[in-house]
Structure 1
Amino acid sequence: MCRLFIEADPALWACETRAVRLNGFSTSVRLEAFFWTVLEDIAARDGLSVGRLLARLHDELTHAGADIENFTSFLRVCCGRFLDLQARGLLPDAGALGGLDVNAILDAEGRSRLGPQPAKMSGRHRGARPAA
């Protein structure tokens, strides 16, 4: 299993720092190249530059009253969620993300995380063995 990750192109985990403007201030964000590539894919779906995507995410976090103490960790999680939602078929393969029905996606995500529910056991307690 480890070879799958160890023998990947080392350029994927090379750190890259990019200058961005958040809340009207210039700052820099340092992420691995892999995450920058995913952010580029996310931004492209809505016709945004990566800088504009980051500014929008930061603005929406601020307006939601969320704690943005570690914005780079938030960005890594955004990338992971994007890839996970795609892999599970909860995001369309193309098109703007901004116009999606977020509530429907979150509901479907919650249902899929729960997995199949166990069948109700009629007249027996869980763990009880059926009569032979």
Structure 2
Amino acid sequence: MCQLFIHADPTLWQSSTRSLRIDGVVTSIRLESYFWQILDEIALRDGMNVTQLITKLYLESLDADHDISNFTSFLRVCCARFLSLLADGHLQREPLQALEEVDAKQLMHSEAQDMQRRALWQLPSKPEQH
């Protein structure tokens, strides 16, 4: 199992920092190249570049009163959720539909059901009774 991860392209976990302007303020974000690639893919679906996507995520997080003190962790989780939604079949890999057009409420409901099913897999099995 570990060979899948150990022999992956090492450039995937190399970090890089990008400077960008969010709401008029210059800031920098340091992420592993794999996360930058995923953010590129997400941005492409909605006809944006990564800076525009990150700005949109940041401003919408503020509007939702989220604690964004660790915004880079939030971005990593966004990437992981995107990949999970792809893996579970809730989204298609090809950018057929902009994420802005997705019924987020329905998709999150389906995602929650999938998470509940996965939680059941982790329950300890009952000992067999003889």
Instruction: Give me the TM-score of the superposition, normalised by structure 1.
Output: 0.85
Shift of 1:92: 3.2
1:16 alignment counterpart: 16
Determine if the alignment matches structure 1 residue 97 to structure 2 residue 86: no
Distance 1:28 1:115 in 2: 38
Structure 2: 5+ residue runs without aligned partners? 121-125
User: How many residues are paired up?
Assistant: 121
| Runs of 4 or more consecutive aligned structure 1 residues displaced over 2 Å after TM superposition | none
- Equivalent residue letter for 2:117: G
1:28 alignment counterpart: 28
Distance 2:9 2:92 in 1: 28
2:62 alignment counterpart: 62
Shift of 1:91: 1.5
Say what the alpha-carbon RMSD is for the aligned residues.
1.9
Shift of 1:4: 1.2
Shift of 1:2: 1.5
- Determine helix, strand or coil for the equivalent of 2:90: coil
Distance 1:76 1:29 in 2: 11
Shift of 1:19: 1.0
1:69-93 Cα deviation digits (max 9, x unpaired): 0010000000000000010011233
Shift of 1:24: 1.6
Distance 2:92 2:105 in 1: 15
Matches within 5 A, 1:1-132: 1-93=1-93, 94=95, 95-115=97-117
Structure with the largest fraction of helix: 2
What percentage of residue pairs aligned between the two structures are identical? 46
1:77-131 Cα deviation digits (max 9, x unpaired): 0000000001001123322000110000011111122229x9xxxxxxxx7x99x
Instruction: Give me the TM-score of the superposition, normalised by structure 2.
Output: 0.86
Structure 1: 5+ residue runs without aligned partners? 119-126
